[in-house]
Amino acid sequence: MSEFRIEKDTMGEVRVPARAYYASQTQRAVENFPISGKQLPKQLIRAMGLVKLACGIANRDLGKLTGTGKNPLNDKQVEAMLASCREVAEGKFDAEFPIDVYQTGSGTSSNMNANEVIANRAIEMLGGDRLAQAKPVHPNDHVNMGQSTNCTFPTAIHVAVALAIVKDLIPALSRLGDVLTRKAAEWDKVIKIGRTHLADATPLRLGQEVGGFARQIELSIHRARRAADALLELPVGGTAVGTGINTHPEFAKRTCAALAKETGLKFVEAANHFEANAQRDALVECHGQLRVVAVTLFNVSNNIRWLGSGPRCGFYEIQLPDRQPGSSIMPGKVNPVMCESMMQVTAKVMGNDQTIAISGAAGGQFQLNIMMPVMGDTTLESVSLLASCTNAFVDFCAEEMEANVEQCNAGVEKSLAMCTSLNPYIGYEKAAALAKQAFKTGKTIRELCEEQNILPHDELKKALDPWSMTEPG
């Protein structure tokens, strides 16, 4: 067999790899966009399969595919087409989507890629020759019925991102939140010195500090849910410009219902198809929430990195697991590599948010946003990176962290901020003078108070009790 076959479309003949399931329009795009060598994310390819499946179900149930229009299908052909859509949704044809991410801004090339693969696979299922020019299951007339790239491609982005958030990111964040909550409970009796402005502050419990981290992750889970919720309105059915030309009046509603059934997510028809087709504000909102999640994860991992600094000349209040040698020249050095990995990932996600913002603001002109492929790819990258790095952080850092109780306790008594609890007894200015004297002499606040009889012994013991300083009162 020849290495290539000839396919024809409205622009003429095209040489296509002989055994490819895709056809002419896909091949034209492959040749037009030799940009990055990076195909669409697999989640988006599979979401396109889901969208095509839902559209096909709606058209089948509405009698459109087997109706009296041009080239009607029989029931067997319809079911083959739907089965082909499902195979794409299951990832069986990921390799048949070779078009570069940086392509036509609407995603038309990838939409036609999906249409061609689904049509040819359906023909093959029916025992026909998928390489023949005649297409009994046609990529435009049947697979793309009632659709335009302008409404189906953004729908696929919404579906892919929402599924990734719900199935990957939220479970990863939940794992981290659970670990930090458990550590907070385990370390609730460990008293340590607080720090504000990186300077010594009043005591608190290590469990309280880590409990604050756990609450940050809990809030991140809420934000991730809001990120997914922002995508539940779908533009499918708006076709070219939002008018719904060439669709059945119930097509959009039925397609969204089919997607909701397939995914378990509460997808609904867009309230206004002109907004839904033209703008990607929902995706901007979604990634904005992901940006906050990234900021939180950067902050938490960086704080843990600081708390684990040392082991002799840093804080070393949390002992981080040793993962690998930390230096090519300093023997025995071990670094907080998992914290650093997470910080790099989250910095990347924060940068991605700028791409999404620019694409949303400048890309949506009149009835179409023309930055959709990069928006879909970038958002899915952010979700994937956040989920992966969070899982790795749990597995290789958070689960194995240990409290350095001795180090925590040692810092409390030495802290000059112990004088804070003396304010109600001797006033701010006298307490400040004690702090300065303690720093100058190297003595503790307690030692100076005892030498100078600042308070009776029992009263001083009560005032300088570190545990009492970790609670209101």
Q: Which CATH number is 296's domain given?
A: 1.20.200.10
pLDDT of res. 344: 98
Q: Verify that 128 and 174 share a domain, yes or no.
A: no
Q: Verify that 308 and 442 share a domain, yes or no.
A: no
Q: Verify that 402 and 426 share a domain, yes or no.
A: no
pLDDT of res. 68: 72
pLDDT of res. 70: 76
Q: Verify that 329 and 206 share a domain, yes or no.
A: yes
> Which of 95, 117, 145 is where one domain is finished?
145
Q: Verify that 198 and 265 share a domain, yes or no.
A: yes
pLDDT of res. 40: 98
Domain count, the chain: 3
Q: Verify that 100 and 218 share a domain, yes or no.
A: no
Q: Verify that 226 and 256 share a domain, yes or no.
A: yes
> Which of 129, 145, 161 is where one domain is finished?
145
Catalytic residues: 197, 327
Instruction: Tell me the C-alpha distance between 460 and 148, whole Å.
Output: 78
> Which of 87, 112, 145 is where one domain is finished?
145
Expressed as residue numbers, the domain containing 85 is 4-145
Q: Tell if the pTM clears 0.85, that is, is over it.
A: yes
CATH of the domain at 453: 1.10.40.30
Provide block-wise average pLDDT over 10 residues at a time, the chain (473 residues).
Answer: 86 95 97 97 98 98 88 96 98 98 97 98 95 90 97 98 98 98 98 95 97 98 98 98 97 98 98 97 98 98 98 96 94 96 98 98 92 98 98 98 96 92 95 95 95 94 94 88
Q: Verify that 371 and 256 share a domain, yes or no.
A: yes
Q: Verify that 345 and 446 share a domain, yes or no.
A: no
pLDDT of res. 1: 56
